[in-house]
Amino acid sequence: MLNSELADFFRSTTAQLGINISDDQVEKFSIYGDLLLEWNKFMNLTAVCEEREVIIKHFVDSITIVPYIDRLESKNVADIGTGAGFPGIPLKIMRPEVEVVLLDSLGKRVNFLNTVINELGLKGITAIHARAEDGGRDKKLREKFDCVTARAVAPMNILLEYCMPFVKKDGVFIAMKGASEEDCFESALKELSGSVISEDVFNLPESDFTRRIICIKKTNFLSTKYPRKAGIPKKNPL
Q: Where are the domains of the chain?
A: 64-235
Bridge partners (DSSP) of residue 156 are: none
The burial of 77, by beta-carbon neighbours within 10 Å (0-12 exposed, 13-18 middle, 19 or more buried), is given as: buried
pLDDT of residue 178: 87
pLDDT of residue 154: 87
pLDDT of residue 81: 96
pLDDT of residue 179: 79
Q: How far is CA 24 from the centre of its chain?
A: 22
CATH superfamily of 64-235: Vaccinia Virus protein VP39 (3.40.50.150)
> 3-state DSSP call for residue 173?
strand
pLDDT of residue 1: 87
For the chain, which ranges sit under pLDDT 50?
Answer: none
pLDDT of residue 182: 66
**CB of 177 within 8 A of CB of 163?**
no
